[in-house]
Amino acid sequence: MKPLIKQFVEQRERGVSEVLGFLLIIAVSFVVFSAFIETVVPGIVNSNEAQHYQEVVGQVYSIKGTLMNALSLRLYPNQLYVALSLGTQTFPVFIPPSEGQLSVIPFDPNLNFFNVSFTTSAGTQKFSSGLTFYVSLYNHVYPSQEVIFDNGMIATGHLNSPSLSVISNGTVGIYSSSMTLILFEDIGGGFSYTSSGSVGVSILVTSISSSTYSISSGPVIITIHSPLSSFWANYIKSLAPSQVQVSQSNGNQVITVSGINTITVMLMVLVVSTSGGG
């Protein structure tokens, strides 16, 4: 039989070894877990947020397509519903879902969103319109940015930033001496909605009009004040470089189109609202 003292010492050493082994396992697990958080999770989050960005771009394209389809078929009064995914479900255990914000800016005649004027035999004709909304994506890893819809033109990047780029051009056509304009006018009050989920967007089309005019004298003058006004100016200039002149006045882009004999103006009046999120 071993002496009591020797038994006590052996038991104590065995207990210390077990504690040290347990602590070592915890330390190794912590290192592995930290490496996982620092290397694997950001890649997963970045991939999820990149996919979400593409999803939102597709949804904004869908809104434009829905509006153009309603315009071509003269569907009014008509209620349109579209869902926008504002947030990204990233890696819920480690990182909370990212949020997004939908901001709708209604037409305001004092801001000269998209004003058009020209002269016919009956006098000066004027049209005013404006529909601008954007989805701000507040990502954790993938670059945060906006997806912007401006009277039919779609752009991505940051507002008032060199990173802004147009991915779908506007709804203007110049064909030698004829011109076509498609205008959207939101007469709602505008709103802002932030969520990590989705939001339902309701678009009530109240009227659609289309008229063709013969221009008796002078140019077509388009005055634009919007987040994408400079892109609009460049786009319209590219359609007929020899006929289009661009200038600035009081912060507005003033686009003068000469040599136009006939112009067709299509105007959709609508109300944009939200039915809440999910």
What whole-number distance in Å separates Cα of residue 46 and Cα of residue 52? 10
For residue 233, the model assigns a pLDDT of 95
What whole-number distance in Å separates Cα of residue 167 and Cα of residue 153? 8
For residue 34, the model assigns a pLDDT of 61
For residue 93, the model assigns a pLDDT of 60
Tokens for 91, please give them: 């890696």
Tokens for 181, please give them: 């304009």
Q: Residue ranges of the domains in the chain?
A: 4-277
Dump the DSSP string for the chain: ---HHHHHHHHHHHHHHHHHHHHHHHHHHHHHHHHIIIIIHHHHHHHHHHHHHHHHHHHHHHHHHHHHHHHHHT--SEEEEEEEE--B--BTTTBPPBEEEEEEE---GGGTSEEEEEEETTEEEEEEEB-EEEEEEE-SSSPPEEEEEETTEEEEE-TTSTT-EEEE--SEEEETTEEEEEEEEE-S--EEEEESSEEEEEEEEEEEEEEEEE--EEEEEEEE-STTHHHHHHHHHHH-TTTEEEEEETTEEEEEE-S--EEEEEEEEEEEEEEEE-
> What string of pLDDT tens digits covers the 278 residues of the chain?
556 555 444 555 555 566 666 667 776 666 655 665 566 667 777 888 889 999 999 999 999 999 999 999 998 898 989 889 998 765 556 677 888 999 998 777 666 588 999 999 999 999 988 899 999 999 888 888 999 999 999 999 988 777 799 999 988 999 999 999 999 999 988 899 999 888 999 999 999 999 999 999 999 999 998 889 999 999 999 999 999 999 999 889 999 999 999 999 999 999 999 876 55
For residue 96, the model assigns a pLDDT of 78
Nearest to 36 by CA among 141, 28, 143, 25: 28
For residue 9, the model assigns a pLDDT of 45
Backbone angles phi, psi at 190, to 5 degrees: 75, 160
For residue 4, the model assigns a pLDDT of 52
Give the side-chain half-sphere CA count within 13 A for 250: 7
